[in-house]
Amino acid sequence: MTSYRLDKGGLIDRESALRFTFDGALHIGRAGDTLASALMANGVRLMGRSFKYHRPRGVITAGAAEPNALVELREGGRKEANTRATMIELYDGLVAKSQNNWPSLNFDVGAINSLASSMFVAGFYYKTFMWPKSFWEKIYEPIIRRAAGLGTASKLPDPDKYEKSYAHCDVLVIGSGPTGLMAALAAARQGKRVILADEGARLGGSLLNEQEEIGGQSGFDWSQGIIAELASLPDVTLMPRTTIMGWFDGNIFGAVERVSDHLRVPDPYEPRQRYWKIHARRAVLAAGSEERPVAFGGNDIPGVMQASAMRTYANRYAVAAGRSVVVFGGNDSIYRTARDLRFHGIHVEAIVDSRKDAKADPGGVHVIRGAMVADAVGGKAVKSVHLTNGMHINCEAVAMSGGFSPIVNLACHRGKKPMWDANLLAFLPPDNGEAFTVAGSAAGKMLLSECLADGAAKGAAGGRAIEAPRCRDEAFAISPLWWVKEARAKAFIDYQNDATAMDLPLAAREGYSDVELAKRYTTTGMATDQGKLGNINAIAILAEATGRTMDEVGTTTFRPFYTPVSFGAFAGPFTGHHFQPVRKTPLHDWAEEQGAVFVETGLWMRSSWFPREAEDWLASASREVLTTRGSVGICDVSTLGKIDVQGKDAGQFLDKLYCNTFSTLAVSKARYGLMLREDGIVYDDGTTSRLAEDHYVMTTTTANAAKVMAQMEFAHQALFPDLDVTYVSVTEQWAQMAVAGPKSRATLQKLMDELVMTDETVPYMAALEVTIMHGIPARLFRLSFSGEHAYELAVPADYGSMAARAVMQAGEEFGICPYGVEALSIMRIEKGHVAGGELNGTTTAGDLGMGKMVSTKKDFIGRMMAQRPGLVDPNRQQVVGIRPVDPSHRIRAGAHLLKKDDTPSLANDQGYVTGVAWSPMLNMWVGLALFANGRARHGEVVQVWDGLRGHLVLGEICDPVHFDKENKRLHA
Amino acid sequence: MLIPCPHCGTRPVEEFTFLGDAAPTRPTTNDPSSMEAWYEYVYLRNNPRGTIDEYAHHSGGCRAWLVVQRNTETHEVYGAVTARAFASRKEAVAKGEQA
DSSP helix/strand/coil, A531: coil
B30 and A CB contact within 8 Å? yes
Query: In chain A, whose CA is at the least distance from the CA of B77?
Result: A250
Query: In chain A, whose CA is at the least distance from the CA of B58?
Result: A710
Using a CB-CB cut-off of 8 Å, the residues of chain B touching A721 are 83-84, 87-88
Using a CB-CB cut-off of 8 Å, the residues of chain A touching B41 are 678
ipTM surpasses cut 0.90: yes
Closest to A551 measured CA to CA, from A511, A515, A581: A515
Using a CB-CB cut-off of 8 Å, the residues of chain B touching A279 are 2
- Intra-chain end-to-end CA distance of chain B, in Å: 40
Interstrand relation of A426-428 and A80-84 (parallel, antiparallel or unpaired):
unpaired
Residue A107 predicted with pLDDT over 80: no
DSSP helix/strand/coil, A520: helix
pLDDT (0 to 100) of residue A52: 80
Q: How many CA atoms lie within 13 A of A372 on its CB side?
A: 23
**Could you tell me how far CA A895 lies from the centroid of its own chain?**
35
In this predicted model, what pLDDT tens digit does every residue of A34-73 receive, in sequence order?
999 999 999 999 998 887 888 899 999 999 999 999 999 9
pLDDT (0 to 100) of residue A132: 58
Residue A635 predicted with pLDDT over 60: yes
Assess contact for A147 and A258: CB atoms under 8 A.
no
Query: In chain A, whose CA is at the least distance from the CA of B60?
Result: A710
A719 and B CB contact within 8 Å? yes
Closest to A296 measured CA to CA, from A322, A265, A330, A268: A330
Query: In chain A, whose CA is at the least distance from the CA of B62?
Result: A713
When CB atoms are compared, the residue of B1, B26, B59 closest to A252 is B1
A678 and B CB contact within 8 Å? yes
Which has more confidence, B99 or A859? A859
pLDDT (0 to 100) of residue B1: 84
Beta-bridge mates of residue A378: A382
pLDDT (0 to 100) of residue A552: 95
In this predicted model, what pLDDT tens digit does every residue of A839-878 receive, in sequence order?
999 999 999 999 999 999 999 999 999 999 999 999 999 9
Long-range contacts of A126-134 (CB under 8 A, 24+ apart): none
Interface test with B, best of A655, A677, A717, A724 (most B CBs within 10 A): A717
Q: How many CA atoms lie within 13 A of A761 on its CB side?
A: 11
CATH superfamily of A293-402: FAD/NAD(P)-binding domain (3.50.50.60)
Start and end residues for every CATH 3.50.50.60 domain found in chain A: 165-290+404-474, 293-402
If you write DSSP's letter for every residue of A572-598 in order, what string do you get?
TT-SGGGSS--EE-TTHHHHHHTTPEE
When CB atoms are compared, the residue of B27, B34, B82 closest to A717 is B82
> Are B86 and A718 inside 8 Å of each other by CB?
yes
CA distance B46 to chain A (A): 18
Beta-bridge mates of residue A695: A646, A692
Query: In chain B, whose CA is at the least distance from the CA of A251?
Result: B1
Strands (E), A258-388: 273-285, 289-291, 304-306, 324-329, 347-353, 367-369, 373-378, 382-387
Closest to A303 measured CA to CA, from A239, A397, A203, A388: A397
B59 and A CB contact within 8 Å? yes
**Which amino acid is present at A115?**
L
> What value, to the nearest 5°, has the Cα angle with vertex A529 and ends A479 and A28?
100
| CA B31/CA A744 separation, integer angstroms | 48
Cα→Cα distances A574→A79, A164, A239, A709, B8, Å = 20, 9, 24, 26, 26
Residue A539 predicted with pLDDT over 50: yes
**Omega prior to A266 cis, within 30 of 0:** no
| CA A949/CA A968 separation, integer angstroms | 38
A889 and B CB contact within 8 Å? no
DSSP helix/strand/coil, A569: helix
Residue A275 predicted with pLDDT over 90: yes
**Which amino acid is present at A502?**
M
Start and end residues for every CATH 1.10.10 domain found in chain A: 491-562
Burial degree of A143 (CB within 10 A; 0-12, 13-18, 19+): exposed
Using a CB-CB cut-off of 8 Å, the residues of chain B touching A679 are 42-43
| CA A12/CA A16 separation, integer angstroms | 9
Query: Confidence band (pLDDT; 50, 70, 90) for A527?
Result: confident
Long-range contacts of A747-752 (CB under 8 A, 24+ apart): A747/A632, A747/A807, A747/A810, A747/A811, A747/A814, A747/A816, A748/A780, A748/A791, A748/A793, A748/A807, A748/A810, A750/A806, A750/A810, A751/A793, A751/A803, A751/A806, A751/A807, A751/A810
| CA A119/CA A103 separation, integer angstroms | 23
Assess contact for A313 and A320: CB atoms under 8 A.
yes
Mean pLDDT of chain A: 94
pLDDT (0 to 100) of residue A145: 54
Residue A723 predicted with pLDDT over 90: yes
Assess contact for A329 and A305: CB atoms under 8 A.
no
> Are A718 and B87 inside 8 Å of each other by CB?
yes
- pTM to 2 decimal places: 0.87
Residue A2 predicted with pLDDT over 70: no
| CA A628/CA A818 separation, integer angstroms | 9
CA distance A589 to chain B (A): 29
When CB atoms are compared, the residue of B27, B30, B65 closest to A714 is B65
Start and end residues for every CATH 3.10.20.440 domain found in chain A: 13-111
Class of domain A13-111: alpha beta
Query: In chain A, whose CA is at the least distance from the CA of B88?
Result: A721
Which has more confidence, A149 or A61? A61
A950 and B CB contact within 8 Å? no
| CA A611/CA A818 separation, integer angstroms | 10
Residue A30, C-beta contacts closer than 8 angstroms, at least 6 positions apart: A12, A13, A14, A16, A17, A18, A38, A41, A90
Closest to A674 measured CA to CA, from A663, A660, A662: A660
Q: What whole-number percentage of chain A has pLDDT above 90?
A: 90
In order of their start, the domains of chain B are 2-23+36-98 (3.30.2270.10)
When CB atoms are compared, the residue of B22, B38, B57 closest to A864 is B38
> How many A/B residue pairs have CB atoms within 8 Å?
60
Query: Confidence band (pLDDT; 50, 70, 90) for A627?
Result: very high
If you write DSSP's letter for every residue of A460-477 in order, what string do you get?
HTTSS--PPPPBPPPP--
B85 and A CB contact within 8 Å? no
Beta-bridge mates of residue A688: A671, A698
When CB atoms are compared, the residue of B2, B19, B30 closest to A863 is B30
In this predicted model, what pLDDT tens digit does every residue of A890-922 receive, in sequence order?
999 999 999 999 999 989 999 999 999 999 999
Check residue A716 and report its DSSP letter. I
> Are A718 and B65 inside 8 Å of each other by CB?
yes
pLDDT (0 to 100) of residue A1: 37
Query: In chain A, whose CA is at the least distance from the CA of B83?
Result: A718
- Intra-chain end-to-end CA distance of chain A, in Å: 95
pLDDT (0 to 100) of residue A34: 98
Using a CB-CB cut-off of 8 Å, the residues of chain A touching B1 are 248-250, 252
pLDDT (0 to 100) of residue A152: 84
Kind plus residue range of the DSSP H or E element containing A17: strand A13-22
Interstrand relation of A817-818 and A633-636 (parallel, antiparallel or unpaired):
parallel
Using a CB-CB cut-off of 8 Å, the residues of chain B touching A643 are none
pLDDT (0 to 100) of residue A74: 96
When CB atoms are compared, the residue of A249, A250, A717 closest to B83 is A717
Cα→Cα distances A806→A749, A769, A773, A779, A970, Å = 11, 18, 8, 16, 24
> What value, to the nearest 5°, has the Cα angle with vertex A66 and ends A499 and A203?
155
Using a CB-CB cut-off of 8 Å, the residues of chain A touching B38 are 864-865
When CB atoms are compared, the residue of B2, B27, B59 closest to A710 is B59
When CB atoms are compared, the residue of A166, A248, A717 closest to B65 is A717
Using a CB-CB cut-off of 8 Å, the residues of chain B touching A276 are none
pLDDT (0 to 100) of residue A360: 86
In this predicted model, what pLDDT tens digit does every residue of B52-96 receive, in sequence order?
999 999 999 999 999 999 999 888 999 999 999 999 998 888 888
Cα→Cα distances A966→A788, A834, A962, A963, Å = 12, 18, 10, 9
Residue B74, C-beta contacts closer than 8 angstroms, at least 6 positions apart: none
In this predicted model, what pLDDT tens digit does every residue of A123-143 receive, in sequence order?
655 555 555 556 656 666 565
pLDDT (0 to 100) of residue B91: 86
Residue A770 predicted with pLDDT over 70: yes
When CB atoms are compared, the residue of B2, B39, B64 closest to A717 is B64
Residue A504, C-beta contacts closer than 8 angstroms, at least 6 positions apart: A122, A493, A518, A522, A524, A538, A541, A542, A545
| CA A704/CA A686 separation, integer angstroms | 11
Using a CB-CB cut-off of 8 Å, the residues of chain A touching B22 are 718
| CA A714/CA A722 separation, integer angstroms | 13
When the candidates are 3.40.50, 1.10.10, 1.10.3930, 1.10.20, the CATH number that belongs to A491-562 is 1.10.10
Check residue A386 and report its DSSP letter. E
> Are B57 and A713 inside 8 Å of each other by CB?
yes
> Are A713 and B65 inside 8 Å of each other by CB?
yes
CA distance B52 to chain A (A): 16
| CA A527/CA A156 separation, integer angstroms | 25
B17 and A CB contact within 8 Å? yes
Interface test with A, best of B62, B63, B67, B71 (most A CBs within 10 A): B63
pLDDT (0 to 100) of residue A147: 52
| CA A504/CA A523 separation, integer angstroms | 10
> Are A250 and B77 inside 8 Å of each other by CB?
yes
When the candidates are 3.50.50.60, 3.40.50.1100, 3.60.21.10, 3.30.470.20, the CATH number that belongs to A165-290+404-474 is 3.50.50.60
A252 and B CB contact within 8 Å? yes
> Are A714 and B57 inside 8 Å of each other by CB?
yes
Residue A237 predicted with pLDDT over 90: yes
Class of domain A576-872: alpha beta
> Are A864 and B59 inside 8 Å of each other by CB?
no
pLDDT (0 to 100) of residue A80: 93
Residue A461 predicted with pLDDT over 60: yes
**Which amino acid is present at A210?**
E
Kind plus residue range of the DSSP H or E element containing A185: helix A178-189
Question: Of A346-350, A501-505, B72-76, which gets the smallest average pLDDT?
Answer: B72-76
When CB atoms are compared, the residue of B22, B38, B75 closest to A250 is B75
> Are B75 and A249 inside 8 Å of each other by CB?
yes
